[in-house]
């Protein structure tokens, strides 16, 4: 009996993994009837309305970053997950394209760091967008041609660059965090009751239709009292939100283009994963794309997207999803602990990435050591 329990634990068949495998399955496709869809407004006994701080963000401040007035946002909580807030696409019509363009054209640029830097020289990864747009726009999908750099992009880090090997941030690997994304993050978190959020680190994940993101907890940030913000663009995903233990079965929900999540309080350190990318619901992408009109963009503070740039973005997001997570690493007045190695650390060994944990869902790169992690205790 004990032997069987041990082998079960060894094979990692915890409740979360079972659900992960269920939704990752392709043939036959899984039943999605239990997946919460906040976009349809269908009430569920698990969904509660989240209270926002309507006074924290003025309509002008919201519009400046491409968001609707906070009173118009549809924000939800989930029973049993205090501190978790889901905001169903609060962008102004026509304003997502500008953020998509930033994610595809601007944020992958130096000095930000991306997966391609791990095995290519800085000059080769200098202009990912510029080196990709031509073949992306003339390519016929039937032809087998080498993938462009943009299609090979898997992650970008911003601000304090996350080190995938040591699972840490450090003072000596920092580049300025993009001001526009800092400002967007500040407004969203303020509306959720967290004034003064300081966006210090960002991870962008670029998912193809067959990508997934393994079960993990984001705990490398030094101040866990600050929320974690997640934004999604392009194709949809199934997001699984679990508990503090791998044994806790997760809740499944759809994340569509423009949707946002705030993980704070007791939900800040919960296990989560993305087992599956799915085509956006009918009409969803069309409304994102149609909105990309110059007149609408003029009324907001976000920069207009040229026709040429938008054509490339559209092609890309028709088969891909981009997720941006924004993190405050340090609390007010906090600094990184001084370690002897922190002066010598280089990026040379930084070869891993999300895609260790993103491709098969089996590897869990950031283990929590808590008393309920019996599988951690066993190994
Ligand atoms: C992450 C993450 C979730 C997503 O980057 O840490 O959990 O929806 N992303 O892609
Ligand atoms: Mn995460």
Least confident range from 8-12, 65-69, 86-90, 322-326: namely 8-12
* Residue at 10 is within a domain: no
Question: Which of 232, 209, 207, 281 has its CA nearest to residue 96?
Answer: 232
* Residue 3 vs residue 371, higher pLDDT: 3
| pLDDT of the residue at 220 | 96
Q: Is 218 annotated as a binding residue?
A: yes
* Residue 186 vs residue 2, higher pLDDT: 186
Quickly tell me which residue has 């079972």 as its tokens: 18
* Residue at 15 is within a domain: no
| pLDDT of the residue at 3 | 47
Q: Where are the beta strands (DSSP E) in the chain?
A: 47-49, 74-78, 84-88, 113-114, 155-159, 201-207, 213-216, 228-234, 236-241, 251-255, 260-263, 272-278, 321-327
Q: Which residues contact 359 (CB under 8 A, 6 or more apart)?
A: 211, 212
Name the token pair of 110. 């130096």
Mean pLDDT for 208-212 is 97
* Residue at 18 is within a domain: no
Q: Which residues contact 36 (CB under 8 A, 6 or more apart)?
A: 44, 46, 47, 78, 251, 252, 253, 254
Mean pLDDT for 69-98 is 97
Query: Edge-to-edge, what's the strand order for the sheet holding 74-78?
Result: 47-49, 74-78, 84-88, 260-263, 228-234, 321-327, 201-207, 155-159, 113-114
Mean pLDDT for 70-83 is 97
Domain count, the chain: 1
239 lines ligand 1 (CB under 6 A): yes
* Residue at 305 is within a domain: yes
Least confident range from 54-68, 143-157, 177-191: namely 143-157
* Residue at 68 is within a domain: yes
* Residue at 208 is within a domain: yes
240 lines ligand 1 (CB under 6 A): no
* Residue at 247 is within a domain: yes
Say whether pLDDT at 378 is over 90. no
Q: What is the pLDDT of residues 230-285, one digit of tens each?
A: 999 999 999 999 999 999 999 999 999 999 999 999 999 999 999 999 999 988 88
Degrees to nearest 5, angle at CA 352 with 348 and 355: 155
Q: What is the pLDDT of residues 134-182, one digit of tens each?
A: 988 887 766 678 999 999 999 999 999 999 999 999 999 999 999 999 9
* Residue at 353 is within a domain: yes
Question: Which of 193, 215, 200 has its CA nearest to residue 262?
Answer: 193
Distance 36 CA to ligand 2 centre (A): 19
23 contacts 215 by C-beta, under 8 angstroms: no
Say whether pLDDT at 54 is over 70. yes
Mean pLDDT for 10-22 is 83
| pLDDT of the residue at 292 | 61
Say whether pLDDT at 33 is over 90. yes
Residue having the nearest C-alpha atom to atom 8 of ligand 1? 323
Question: Which of 218, 211, 236, 207 has its CA nearest to residue 103?
Answer: 207
Say whether pLDDT at 326 is over 50. yes
- The domain spanning residue 258 has which CATH number? 2.60.120.590
Residue 69: domain span = 37-370
Distance 378 CA to ligand 1 centre (A): 27
16 contacts 270 by C-beta, under 8 angstroms: no
Q: What mean pLDDT is reported for the chain?
A: 86
DSSP per position, 239-252: EEE--SSTTSPPEE
213 lines ligand 1 (CB under 6 A): yes
* C-alpha 115, offset from chain centre: 16
Q: Is 216 annotated as a binding residue?
A: yes
């Amino acid at each position: 009996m004990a032997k069987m329990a041990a082998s079960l634990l060894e094979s990692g068949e915890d409740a979360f993994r079972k659900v992960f495998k269920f939704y990752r399955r392709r043939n036959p496709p899984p039943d999605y009837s239990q997946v919460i869809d906040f976009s349809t407004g269908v009430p569920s006994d698990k969904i509660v309305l989240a209270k926002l701080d309507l006074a924290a963000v003025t309509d002008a401040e919201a519009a400046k970053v491409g968001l609707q007035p906070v009173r118009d946002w549809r924000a939800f909580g989930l029973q049993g997950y205090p501190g978790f807030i889901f905001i169903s696409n609060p962008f102004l019509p026509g304003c997502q394209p500008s953020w998509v363009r930033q994610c595809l054209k601007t944020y992958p640029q130096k000095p930000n760091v991306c997966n391609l830097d791990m095995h290519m020289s800085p000059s080769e990864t200098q202009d990912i967008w510029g080196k990709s747009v031509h073949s992306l726009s003339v390519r016929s999908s039937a032809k087998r041609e080498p993938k462009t750099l943009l299609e090979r992009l898997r992650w970008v880090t911003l601000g304090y660059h996350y080190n995938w090997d040591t699972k840490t941030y450090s003072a000596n690997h920092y580049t300025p965090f993009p001001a526009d994304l800092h400002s967007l993050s500040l407004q969203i978190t303020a509306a959720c009751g967290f004034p003064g959020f300081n966006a210090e680190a960002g991870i962008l994940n670029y998912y193809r239709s067959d990508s997934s993101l393994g079960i993990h907890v984001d705990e490398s940030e030094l101040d866990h009292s600050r929320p974690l913000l997640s934004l999604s663009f392009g194709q949809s995903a199934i997001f699984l939100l679990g508990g503090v233990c791998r044994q806790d079965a997760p809740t499944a929900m759809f994340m569509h283009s423009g949707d946002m999540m705030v993980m704070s309080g007791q939900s800040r350190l919960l296990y989560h994963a993305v087992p599956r990318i799915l085509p956006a619901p009918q009409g969803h992408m069309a409304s994102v794309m149609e909105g990309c009109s110059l007149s609408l963009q003029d009324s907001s503070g976000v920069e207009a997207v040229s026709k040429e740039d938008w054509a490339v973005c559209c092609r890309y997001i028709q088969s891909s999803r981009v997720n941006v997570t924004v993190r405050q690493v340090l609390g007010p007045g906090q600094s990184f602990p001084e370690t002897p190695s922190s002066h010598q650390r280089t990026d040379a060994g930084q070869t891993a990435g999300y895609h260790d944990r993103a491709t098969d869902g089996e590897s869990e790169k950031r283990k929590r050591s808590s008393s309920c992690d019996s599988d951690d205790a066993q190994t």
